[in-house]
């Protein structure tokens, strides 16, 4: 426990990251896909002499600039703040490994932001060829930001054997490239690229749906149809890419997914399964709505339907990110650091010397309940809250002090056949500390009589 704990009531700090990240993914992937869409659409319009397309594209590029330049950029920085507060230990690991990666990322990001602005403000002011070239520079820079951040994101799920060999030795940076091009790097890159391309189509449909189809039926028909085509390749390829991706995830971490699949219908641990089904259902619905309403009757494709498709895209994206997060459990950096910041290599040490012993965040004269709370915050708070999201009060309801003690023993022993291993880290600490946690949790579930009377 080297860092203070960021206590976010009810939802937990993880969801703060989650909410910002889902919003950010929707926009940042559009920033990449849309960056290709704009110059390609412009090129087509020029070749075919479609002045009317140009007006729409100009409007779309303004929307694009504001959405990605303001909301995309701000939410991206928001993720930084949130992960630094919620997972200081993991963030530190990432920075130590990838500081150069991030420096490069920011260079491309600057190019991306400036060219997006230049592209918008130079419509009609520079030659068409030059304008398209600016669009391509933007597209290249934004693809490169994905190429880089993808290495860091996938590293967290699958750091790879080579990096794990040196993890904790101070030599981690010597395996920069192995960590960067880790086992899920390529499938994830193609998967995300597919998402980028389809999001370009989905956001373009929002713009196109607002064209007056009565006044300009040909314009609306052509643009809506052309945008729909952006959805096709990725929806065909996504299931295969997803399988390839899962294939690269180590057996131990796929366990959770399989646990979910096997118990489908049994009502046991089906969160992951439900989310996986949600992805499939929303994707299928997007395909259905887009085919029936946009492709078959493009001239009358309404704004409301475009928004509905966008919303479905949001649900699919959110589900996808949520499953990626679940898949990684109980780790924040696969097979190296657990979600609560405890490194796998430190478990023995914490058990021997104590988890709170060297923590600057706990007073020497603290009470047992305070130590119990510190244990809870440090080791369970990354995934549980006391009263709402994955609530301790609910999950422990009906258990007395002894039953709580038994559960903690299972978590602490962490036997190979423990069902909790698939999603919870081992509980570390001395007998005393675990006792304090037990007292704290038992008091949480059934507050002592004195306290109850005081309420
Ligand atoms: C990596 C995330 C993570 C951490 C850290 C974590 N848990 Fe969990 N825990 C889960 C998940 C996921 C579930 C399943 C929740 C569900 O079924 O809704 C769960 C379930 C539980 C349950 C219900 C299990 C049952 O059999 O009834 C208890 C109790 C529990 N956790 C206690 C703890 C305690 C105590 C700690 C800290 C020592 C802790 N957890 C740390 C993720 C975590």
- Contacts of residue 382, Cβ cutoff 8 Å, sequence gap at least 6: 12, 13, 14, 86, 87, 332, 339, 340, 341
Task: Quote the CA–CA distance of 349 and 346 in Å, as a whole number.
Answer: 5
Q: Is the pLDDT of residue 226 over 90?
A: yes
Q: What is the predicted pLDDT for the residue at 358?
A: 82
Q: Tell whether the torsion through CA atoms of 372, 89, 324 and 428 is positive or negative.
A: negative
272 within ligand 1 shell (Cβ under 6 A):
no
| Cβ atoms 325, 317 nearer than 8 A | no
Straight-line distance from the first to the last Cα atom of the chain, in angstroms, rounded to the nearest whole number: 32
Q: Is the pLDDT of residue 362 over 70?
A: yes
Q: What is the predicted pLDDT for the residue at 111?
A: 97
Over residues 79-108, mean pLDDT: 95
Task: Quote the CA–CA distance of 65 and 116 in Å, as a whole number.
Answer: 6
422 within ligand 1 shell (Cβ under 6 A):
no
Among 151-155, 323-327, 336-340, the minimum mean pLDDT is found in 323-327
Q: Is the pLDDT of residue 269 over 70?
A: no
Model confidence at 106, pLDDT cuts 50, 70, 90, reads very high
Give tens-digit pLDDT for 143-178: 999 999 999 999 999 999 999 999 989 898 899 999
Kindly give the distance from the C-alpha atom of residue 384 to the centroid of ligand 1, in angstroms, as a whole number: 7
- Contacts of residue 450, Cβ cutoff 8 Å, sequence gap at least 6: none
- Nearest-CA neighbor of 55 among 172, 163, 215, 175? 215
Q: Is the pLDDT of residue 125 over 80?
A: yes
Residue 115 vs residues 45, 66, 129: alpha-carbon distances, Å: 21, 13, 15
* Lookup: tokens for 236: 């065909």
Q: What is the predicted pLDDT for the residue at 454?
A: 52
Instruction: Please report the atom of ligand 1 found closest to the CA of residue 411.
Output: 38
423 within ligand 1 shell (Cβ under 6 A):
yes
Instruction: Please report the atom of ligand 1 found closest to the CA of residue 419.
Output: 26
> Mean pLDDT over all residues of the chain?
92
379 within ligand 1 shell (Cβ under 6 A):
yes
Model confidence at 253, pLDDT cuts 50, 70, 90, reads confident
Q: Is the pLDDT of residue 124 over 70?
A: yes
Give tens-digit pLDDT for 370-422: 999 999 999 999 999 999 999 999 999 999 999 999 999 999 999 998 888 88
The total of other beta-carbon atoms located within 10 Å of residue 129's CB is 9
Give tens-digit pLDDT for 7-24: 999 999 999 999 999 999
Task: Quote the CA–CA distance of 395 and 423 in Å, as a whole number.
Answer: 15
Q: Is the pLDDT of residue 262 over 90?
A: no
Model confidence at 187, pLDDT cuts 50, 70, 90, reads very high
Task: Quote the CA–CA distance of 126 and 137 in Å, as a whole number.
Answer: 15
Q: Is the pLDDT of residue 265 over 70?
A: no
| Cβ atoms 204, 227 nearer than 8 A | yes
Q: Is the pLDDT of residue 260 over 80?
A: no
- Nearest-CA neighbor of 179 among 197, 156, 206, 209? 156
Q: Is the pLDDT of residue 305 over 60?
A: yes
| Cβ atoms 408, 434 nearer than 8 A | yes
Residue with CA nearest ligand 1 atom 35:
380
Q: Is the pLDDT of residue 127 over 90?
A: yes
Q: Is the pLDDT of residue 263 over 60?
A: no
For the purposes of burial, counting CB atoms within 10 Å of the CB of 326, is it exposed (0-12), middle (13-18) or buried (19 or more)? middle
Kindly give the distance from the C-alpha atom of residue 339 to the centroid of ligand 1, in angstroms, as a whole number: 12
Over residues 217-227, mean pLDDT: 97
Residue 51 vs residues 42, 48, 57, 131, 300: alpha-carbon distances, Å: 10, 9, 10, 15, 21
Kindly give the distance from the C-alpha atom of residue 424 to the centroid of ligand 1, in angstroms, as a whole number: 6
* Lookup: tokens for 240: 């295969």
329 within ligand 1 shell (Cβ under 6 A):
yes
Backbone region of residue 446 per phi and psi (left: phi > 0; alpha: psi in -120 to 50; beta: other values): beta
Task: Quote the CA–CA distance of 42 and 133 in Å, as a whole number.
Answer: 11
Task: Quote the CA–CA distance of 368 and 377 in Å, as a whole number.
Answer: 14
Q: What percent of the chain has pLDDT over 70?
A: 94
Q: What percent of the chain has pLDDT over 90?
A: 78
Give tens-digit pLDDT for 31-86: 999 999 999 999 999 999 999 999 999 999 999 999 999 999 999 999 999 999 99
CB burial of 277-291 (b: ≥16 within 10 Å; e: otherwise) equals: ebbeebbeebbebbe
The total of other beta-carbon atoms located within 10 Å of residue 143's CB is 19
CB burial of 147-166 (b: ≥16 within 10 Å; e: otherwise) equals: bbbbbbbbbbbbbbeebbee
- Nearest-CA neighbor of 68 among 195, 193, 190, 200? 200
421 within ligand 1 shell (Cβ under 6 A):
no
Over residues 276-290, mean pLDDT: 89
Give tens-digit pLDDT for 424-443: 999 999 999 999 999 999 99
The total of other beta-carbon atoms located within 10 Å of residue 390's CB is 12
Instruction: Please report the atom of ligand 1 found closest to the CA of residue 380.
Output: 37
Task: Quote the CA–CA distance of 71 and 315 in Å, as a whole number.
Answer: 19
- Nearest-CA neighbor of 245 among 304, 158, 317? 158
Task: Quote the CA–CA distance of 93 and 86 in Å, as a whole number.
Answer: 14
Q: What is the predicted pLDDT for the residue at 268?
A: 47
For the purposes of burial, counting CB atoms within 10 Å of the CB of 127, is it exposed (0-12), middle (13-18) or buried (19 or more)? exposed
CB burial of 338-352 (b: ≥16 within 10 Å; e: otherwise) equals: bbbbbbbebbeebbe
Residue with CA nearest ligand 1 atom 28:
395
For 154, what's the count of Cα atoms within 13 Å in the CB-facing half-sphere? 28
Q: Is the pLDDT of residue 276 over 90?
A: no
């Amino acid at each position: 426990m080297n860092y203070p704990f960021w206590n976010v009531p009810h939802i937990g700090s993880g969801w703060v990251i989650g909410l910002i990240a889902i919003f950010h993914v929707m926009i940042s992937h559009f920033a990449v896909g849309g960056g290709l869409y704009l110059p390609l659409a412009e090129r087509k319009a020029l070749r075919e002499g479609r002045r009317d397309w140009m007006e729409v594209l100009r409007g779309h590029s303004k929307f694009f600039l504001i959405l990605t330049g303001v909301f995309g950029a701000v939410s991206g920085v928001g993720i930084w703040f949130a992960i630094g507060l919620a997972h200081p230990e993991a963030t530190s690991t990432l920075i130590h490994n990838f500081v150069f990666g991030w420096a490069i990322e920011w260079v491309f990001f600057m190019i991306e932001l400036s060219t997006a602005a230049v592209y918008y403000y130079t419509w009609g002011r520079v030659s068409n060829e030059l304008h398209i070239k600016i669009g391509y520079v933007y597209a290249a820079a934004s693809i490169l930001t994905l190429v880089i951040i993808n290495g860091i994101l996938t590293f967290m799920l699958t750091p790879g054997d080579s990096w794990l060999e040196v993890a904790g030795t101070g030599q981690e940076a010597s395996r920069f490239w192995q960590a960067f091009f880790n086992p899920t790097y390529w499938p994830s890159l193609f998967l995300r690229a597919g998402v980028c391309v389809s999001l370009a189509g989905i956001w373009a449909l929002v713009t196109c749906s607002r064209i007056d189809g009565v006044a300009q039926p040909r314009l609306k028909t052509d643009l809506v149809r052309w945008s729909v085509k952006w959805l096709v390749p990725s929806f065909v390829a996504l299931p295969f890419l997803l399988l390839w991706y899962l294939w690269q995830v180590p057996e131990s971490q796929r366990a959770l997914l399989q646990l979910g699949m096997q118990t489908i219908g049994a009502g046991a641990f089906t969160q992951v399964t439900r989310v996986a089904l949600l992805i499939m259902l929303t994707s299928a619905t997007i395909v259905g709505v887009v085919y029936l309403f946009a492709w078959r009757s493009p001239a009358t494709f309404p704004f409301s339907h475009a928004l509905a498709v966008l919303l479905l895209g949001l649900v699919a994206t959110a589900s996808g990110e949520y499953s990626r997060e679940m898949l990684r459990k109980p780790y924040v950096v696969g097979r190296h650091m657990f979600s609560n910041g405890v490194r796998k290599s430190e478990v023995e040490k914490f058990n021997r010397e104590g988890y709170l012993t060297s923590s600057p965040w706990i007073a020497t004269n603290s009470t047992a309940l305070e130590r119990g709370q510190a244990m809870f915050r440090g080791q369970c708070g990354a995934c549980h809250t006391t009263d709402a999201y994955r609530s301790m009060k609910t999950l422990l309801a009906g258990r007395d002090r002894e039953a709580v003690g038994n559960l903690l023993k299972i978590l602490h022993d962490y036997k190979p056949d423990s069902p909790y291993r698939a999603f919870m880290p081992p509980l570390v600490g001395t007998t005393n500390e675990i006792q304090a946690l037990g007292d704290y949790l038992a008091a949480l579930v059934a507050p002592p009589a004195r306290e109850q009377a005081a309420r």
